[in-house]
Every structure is written in C-alpha cells, then in structure tokens.
Amino acid sequence: MGSKNQLQQQFTYLALIVLVGANLVCEGGATSRTSLEDASMYERHRQWMSQFGRIYSDNNERHKRFNIFKQNVALIDSFNNANNKPYNLAVNQFADLTNEEFTASRNGFKGHMCSNKATTFIYENVTALPSTVDWTKKGAVTPIKDQGQCGCCWAFSAVAAMEGLPS
C-alpha cells in the first residue's frame, strides 16, 4: 500500500509541475505579445514625434506623453473599429495631450458673450438635403488652419466669416 500512496503522491507532484510549467509558458507568450505590441506602439510614437516635430524635455515627460499617446490611439482605434459612424478618427498633432490639456490650450476665448438679441430665421421649403456638404470643395471657404496656442481664435473666426461671404 505504501508504494501506491507514493505513486499517487509522485503523480500529484508531476501534475503540479506540469501545470506550473504550462502557466509560465502561457504567461511568457502573453508577455512577449505585449512586448511586441509595446514595441510597435513605441515605434508608432517615435514616427509621430518625427512627423509633428515633438521633442520632450526629459525621459519622464517622454514616458508620460507616450502613455497618453497609447491611450488616445486605443480610443481612436476602438472608435474606428466600431463602424457605427460615417466618419473615422485619426492620430493628429494633439495625440499626446489629455482632453484637459487640449481643451485648455484650444479654448482661449476670454471675452464676454454678445448681446442676447436674436433675429428670426425663416426656413425655406426644402425637401431633400445632402447628408454632408464640403464647403472647401465648393470654394466657399479655405481648409482648416491651425492657430496654435496663441489664443487668436477670434481673428481666425473673423477671417473665416469674411471668406464665407458671397462675392
């Protein structure tokens, strides 16, 4: 009987070793896949930095911006893969900014709102409208311009309004 118990005990140890080994192999595979994904994302970030001339002050800032970039790319990819919108998002020069940073840098209007006087708008009898209109293709306005962080959105808006006037 002693040998049967020893055999069962050895079998139990062997099964435990196999399970631990299989777990290590699986974790190693996940780690290498994650490492490949990180390397691919790191290369994508490096190319993005080159494309948009982004230089960081130190490695801590670079690491922070890389993580924000990864989160934004994941959000963009998830949105585009959902296929439930007639448009797609793309990585642009703002991809390493948080929503708060972007809003703070692009929402520079410091003035007061105009008067509350409203005019009445009379609608035409329109039956069929296109789902989208690209006014740049119709020559009504020029393409979007990047005002940077100067807080001169009012000037860009004034120029755009003048461009849009019929000639």
Give the C-alpha separation, 155 to 159, whole Å.
6
Beta strands in the chain (DSSP E): none
| pTM score | 0.51
Q: For 37-87, what is each residue's pLDDT tens digit?
A: 788 999 999 999 999 999 999 999 999 999 999 999 999 999 999 988 889
Q: Which residues contact 163 (CB under 8 A, 6 or more apart)?
A: 140, 141, 142
Comparing 76 with 5, which gets the higher pLDDT? Answer: 76
pLDDT of 8 higher than 90: no
Residue 36: predicted pLDDT:
73
